[in-house]
Amino acid sequence: MTGVRITEDVFGTLPDGRAVDRVTLRGAQGFEARIITYGAALQALVVPDANGVCDDVLLGHDDIQGYLAHRQFFGATVGRYANRIANARFVLDGQTIRLNPNDEPHALHGGPDGFDRRLWQITKVEEGAQPAVTLLYVSADGEENYPGRLDIRVTYRLTGPSELSVEFVAKTSRPTIVNLTNHSFFNLDGVSAQTDILGHRLSVAADHFLAIDESAIPLPGPPRPVAGTPFDFREATAIGARIRAADLQLRSGRGYDHNYCLRDAGGLRLAARLEAPRCGRVMELLTNQPGLQVYSGNYLDGTKGGKGRLHRQSDAICLEPQNWPDAPNRADFPSPRLSPDQTYKHTIVYRFSTTGVRA
């Protein structure tokens, strides 16, 4: 990989005077990932299209004030538990844990002050063929009422000419629950194009999904088959093809906001493929997690924005690899429990390519 380099600068300053740093990892042909220490967030991801034109494919903000003013999880590291925990409570080893609700009555994405609202510390910057940055956050025992001190490291690494890998590693001081993810909002046409993602073609390696109630908590019972429903993305399908179908689940989520139960859980494998026919950009997403939350930007309402534009409904899509929502309360779901003798490891790979030169 020629021309790879790393740069560091100050992205902004928090109200208490602490600096928010930014590290830029540069790859080939203009590929570039920008990471900020506030929320260990992926602030920008610049990717060439089929004609070699580069653009940022993530929603986000150009300054720290945007992130502080509106909590939208743009590109953030989300935890201690991504997604929702019903009624902000769960039982762990016979003890009832009561969390701080922030999506009444539920707990969402770690609570009112999750990892996305914390200032992380850069612990390592690696030059070379696969440039990388590692960030650290130590979540105190009892933070947001979660048990156990949790030491978390997130490493962003360029693992190919147009490939970004994100690795989460966590250790706990006593039994707890952990579910971390990256919450990037993707529009492969690029933010400067000012288009929505309804024409993007999506495929997901899942035969089942979790049906939800009106507050986005999984319903009782086993996962539902995608076959014969608007949730069938086993073959590449335009996101907008069925998003307005008269379907109760689409009504509950205001669009797609559902967990897909991925096949072959346990190893790093292809979970989803996203293609923007207009510009030719393609993204393959690999993960070792059992679920993928597909969120079609249903609550982007035009009142908040960044990078020179307002963000409206369906301007971007989130593909969030993670454990299943409300798993701490569901013995029939994959367990999120982490003990002191275990290490939590979660890997995401974003692999970009193109479908051919456009006129």
Structural domains for the chain: 5-194+279-354 (2.70.98.10)
Question: How far apart are alpha carbons 89 and 105 in whole angstroms?
Answer: 10
| Confidence tier at 164 by pLDDT (50, 70, 90) | very high
- pLDDT, tens only, 3-56: 568 999 999 999 999 999 999 999 989 999 999 999 999 999 999 999 999 999
d(CA 265, CA 291): 8
pLDDT (tens digit, 9 = 90+) per residue, 219-257? 999 999 999 999 999 999 999 999 999 999 999 999 999
Q: How far apart are CA 185 and CA 316, in angstroms?
A: 5
Q: Note the pLDDT tens digit of each residue in 165-202.
A: 999 999 999 999 999 999 999 999 999 898 999 999 99
In this predicted structure, what is the pLDDT of residue 4?
62
- Write out pLDDT tens, residues 265-292: 779 999 999 999 999 999 999 999 999 9
Are 316 and 74 contacting, i.e. CB atoms less than 8 angstroms apart? no
The neighbour count for residue 308, using CB atoms within 10 Å, is 9
Q: What percent of the chain has pLDDT above 70?
A: 97
DSSP state of 222: S
CB atoms within 10 A of CB 242: 16
Q: What is the pLDDT of residue 112?
A: 97
pLDDT band (50, 70, 90) for residue 138: very high
Q: Could you tell me whether strands 291-295 and 121-126 are parallel, antiparallel, or unpaired per DSSP bridges? A: unpaired
Question: Confidence band (pLDDT; 50, 70, 90) for 356?
Answer: confident
Instruction: Note whether 136 and 121 are within 8 A (CB).
Output: yes
Closest CA relative to residue 114, chosen from 72, 154, 59, 162: 72
Contact between residue 143 and residue 152 where contact means Cβ atoms under 8 Å apart: no
The answer to whether the bond into 105 is cis (omega within 30° of 0) is: yes
In the prediction, which pLDDT does 184 show?
Answer: 98
Mean pLDDT of 294-317: 84
How far is it, in rounded angstroms, from Cα 56 to Cα 62? 12
Task: Give the pLDDT score at 357.
Answer: 57
Is residue 320 annotated as part of the catalytic site, yes or no?
A: yes
Does 183 participate in catalysis according to the annotation?
yes
Beta bridge partners of 38: 119
Q: Which residue has the tokens 């020179």?
A: 308
Options 183, 200, 258, 346, the catalytic residue = 183
Q: What's the rounded mean pLDDT across residues 154-161?
A: 96
pLDDT at 3: 58
3-class DSSP state of 322:
strand
pLDDT band for position 307 (cuts 50, 70, 90): confident
Bond before 263 cis per omega within 30 degrees: no
Q: Indicate whether 1 pLDDT > 50.
A: no
Mean of the per-residue pLDDT values for the chain? 95
Please indicate whether residue 307 or residue 108 has the higher confidence score (pLDDT).
108
Position 62 pLDDT exceeds 70? yes
Q: Indicate if the pLDDT at residue 206 is higher than 60.
A: yes
